[in-house]
């Protein structure tokens, strides 16, 4: 039984930190040899929001006087929970002056997203933006440079494709403007999303599919020299699920080795590619990793040569 160690020195320097090459000191005959992953140490450092996935934008509207402006939010690449996304959206709304201040000097945002754990969903709430007259009565003020709408209405939040997967909505889903607070939710769900409205004009929506906040919830190991006819790609030998928080160390030692037979032949190198759940190479930020592969003969232990 032999051990091969792959670490950041084996990473192909293409910016993805997802391909490792182990070059044997000499050509090695791997006929009737089996391989298994025996240890993995790496950091949870692959983004769930990233420009390469085209899942980093959404839009919302704000009406000042009678002019409606659509704002596009571009989310920086990173690892986000729903609460992190909502905080960033609020930050952008402050930059765009699309908020108001209540009588207690608190910022009020026209829309938000949050987790609804009971329904296993992401909830979008949009709030009725008052006119100047109603705002004055309530003691609301605007940031300098902003104007109230001439007609009360809610912002329209639109969820584009790719980002919709993160929060569980259909691609192109848009909330209702609720102009003059006259909108009545349909008795049947809008786009199959549960929708409700309260007396204050707040519209609430629930995602209609399970949110995939981290679409790449597993790291799949694809090794050269393996031909598994039941798998696609044919070189898949292992999978790691990060059961730690973002940025923390994943330390995996499988209790039982899953042996995979090499294609008989002579090898100069082995190439290990780290794939996401979508079976595309995973973009990993931190190259600090150590992966141990164990190689054994067919006649060792329970394995027998055919």
- Number of neighbouring beta carbons within 10 Å of residue 137: 10
**Which residue, 185, 206, 227, sits at the end of a domain?**
206
Residues 224 and 239 in one domain: yes
Cross-strand partners of 11: 20
Q: Reduce the DSSP state of residue 143 to 3 states and report it.
A: coil
Residues 231-258 have pLDDT tens digits of 889 999 999 999 899 999 999 999 899 9
Rg (CA), the chain: 26
**239 occurs within a structural domain:** yes
**38 occurs within a structural domain:** yes
**305 occurs within a structural domain:** no
Backbone torsions φ then ψ of 132, nearest 5 degrees: -60, -40
Domain span including residue 248: 2-46+216-297
**Which residue, 206, 235, 270, sits at the end of a domain?**
206
pLDDT of residue 306: 44
Q: What is the largest CA-CA distance in the chain?
A: 86
Residues 180 and 247 in one domain: no
Whole-angstrom distance, CA of residue 132 vs CA of residue 149: 7
CB of 58 within 8 A of CB of 306? no
DSSP annotation string for 244-264? S-TTSEEEE--SS---EEBPS
pLDDT of residue 300: 78
Measured between alpha carbons, how far is residue 47 from residues 53, 54, 227, 239, 260 in Å?
10, 12, 30, 18, 30
Q: Reduce the DSSP state of residue 86 to 3 states and report it.
A: helix
Residues 147 and 254 in one domain: no
Whole-angstrom distance, CA of residue 96 vs CA of residue 146: 9
Residues 121-157 have pLDDT tens digits of 999 999 999 999 999 999 999 999 999 999 999 999 9
**Which residue, 174, 206, 238, sits at the end of a domain?**
206
Residues 59 and 195 in one domain: yes
Residues 110 and 246 in one domain: no
Residues 59 and 191 in one domain: yes
Domain count, the chain: 2
CB of 302 within 8 A of CB of 34? no
Per-block mean pLDDT, blocks of 10 residues, the chain (306 long):
95 96 96 96 96 96 98 97 98 98 97 96 97 95 97 98 96 96 76 84 95 94 94 93 93 93 96 95 96 92 52
Q: Reduce the DSSP state of residue 88 to 3 states and report it.
A: helix
Residues 24 and 64 in one domain: no
């Amino acid at each position: 039984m032999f051990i091969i160690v792959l670490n950041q020195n084996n990473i192909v320097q293409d910016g993805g930190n997802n391909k490792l090459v182990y070059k044997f000191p000499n050509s090695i005959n791997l006929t009737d040899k089996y391989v298994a992953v025996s240890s993995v140490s790496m950091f949870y450092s692959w983004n769930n929001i990233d420009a390469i996935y085209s899942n980093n934008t959404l839009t919302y509207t704000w009406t000042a006087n009678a002019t409606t402006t659509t704002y596009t939010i571009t989310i920086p690449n990173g690892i986000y929970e729903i609460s992190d996304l909502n905080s960033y959206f609020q930050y952008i709304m402050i930059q765009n002056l699309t908020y108001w201040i209540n009588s207690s000097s608190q910022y009020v945002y026209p829309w938000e997203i949050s987790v609804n754990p009971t329904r296993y969903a992401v909830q979008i709430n949009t709030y009725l933006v008052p006119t100047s007259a109603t705002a004055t009565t309530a003691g609301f003020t605007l940031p300098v440079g902003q104007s109230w709408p001439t007609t009360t209405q809610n912002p329209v939040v639109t969820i584009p494709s790719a980002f919709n997967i993160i929060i569980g909505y259909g691609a192109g889903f848009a909330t209702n403007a609720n102009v003059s607070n006259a909108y009545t939710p349909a008795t049947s769900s809008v786009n199959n999303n549960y929708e409700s409205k309260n007396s204050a004009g707040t519209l609430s929506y629930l995602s209609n599919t399970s949110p995939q906040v981290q679409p790449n919830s597993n790291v799949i190991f694809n090794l050269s020299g393996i031909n598994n006819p039941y798998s696609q790609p044919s070189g898949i030998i292992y999978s790691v699920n990060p059961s730690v928080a973002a940025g923390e160390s994943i330390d995996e030692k499988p209790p039982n080795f899953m042996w995979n037979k090499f294609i008989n032949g002579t090898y100069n190198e082995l190439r290990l590619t780290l794939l996401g759940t979508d079976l595309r190479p995973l973009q990993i930020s931190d190259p600090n990793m150590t992966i141990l592969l164990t190689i054994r003969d067919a006649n060792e232990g329970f394995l027998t040569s055919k």
